[in-house]
């Protein structure tokens, strides 16, 4: 049975100067590939990247920021590692929990001003995002 978002057009375009998802408390997961890309972009060793920015929790490398904190990579101009940002960030808002139901999507739209804006995102692209990030 097709998912609701395979039958209805979904529009999304990240909004300039928004950065709301970078200022929301939470955890950003980094897999091996994410760590390598970000470290290379910052021109540091992967071990140095992990030591400076991440902690390991139950075998998963992550960066946590709490209420009142923002992502360590957020700059006045946006994401400081944009070309190398982790899959979790690349695929937002197309996460399983956000797409579970129309209601979940509408709740996400209340937070994310890019939902409902811009081009229709093809279901194949949404499926790829869901596959790329298994949060």
pLDDT tens string 105-132: 999 999 999 999 999 999 999 999 999 8
Q: Which letter, b or e, does each residue of 51-85 get, where b requires 16 or more Cβ atoms within 10 Å of its Cβ?
A: eebbeeeeeebbbebeeeeebebbeeeebbbeebb
Q: Which residues pair with residue 64 across a beta bridge?
A: 27
pTM score, whole prediction: 0.89
Cα within 13 Å of Cα(45), Cβ side: 3
17-46, pLDDT tens digit by residue?
A: 899 999 989 999 999 999 999 999 999 999
Which pLDDT score, from 0 to 100, does residue 16 have?
Answer: 86
Q: What is the pLDDT of residue 134?
A: 73
Cβ–Cβ < 8 Å for 113, 18: yes
Q: State residue 107's pLDDT score.
A: 97
Kindly report each contact of residues 94-100 with a partner whose C-beta sits within 8 Å and lies 24 or more positions away, as own/partner. Answer: 94/12, 94/121, 94/126, 94/129, 94/130, 95/129, 95/130, 95/133, 95/135, 96/130, 96/134, 96/135, 97/135, 99/3, 99/5, 99/126, 99/130
Please give the pLDDT value at position 26.
92
């Amino acid at each position: 049975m097709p998912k609701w978002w395979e039958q209805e057009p979904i529009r999304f375009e990240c909004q300039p100067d928004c950065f709301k998802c970078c200022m929301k408390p939470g955890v950003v997961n980094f897999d091996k590939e994410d760590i390598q890309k970000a470290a290379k972009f910052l021109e540091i060793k992967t071990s140095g990247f992990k030591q400076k920015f991440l902690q390991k929790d139950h075998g998963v490398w992550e960066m946590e920021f709490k209420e009142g904190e923002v992502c360590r990579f957020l700059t006045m101009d946006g994401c400081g590692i944009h070309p190398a940002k982790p899959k979790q960030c690349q695929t937002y808002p197309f996460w399983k929990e956000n797409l579970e139901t129309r209601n979940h999507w509408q709740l996400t739209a209340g937070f994310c001003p890019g939902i409902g804006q811009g081009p229709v995102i093809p279901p194949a692209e949404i499926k790829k995002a869901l596959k790329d990030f298994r949060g």
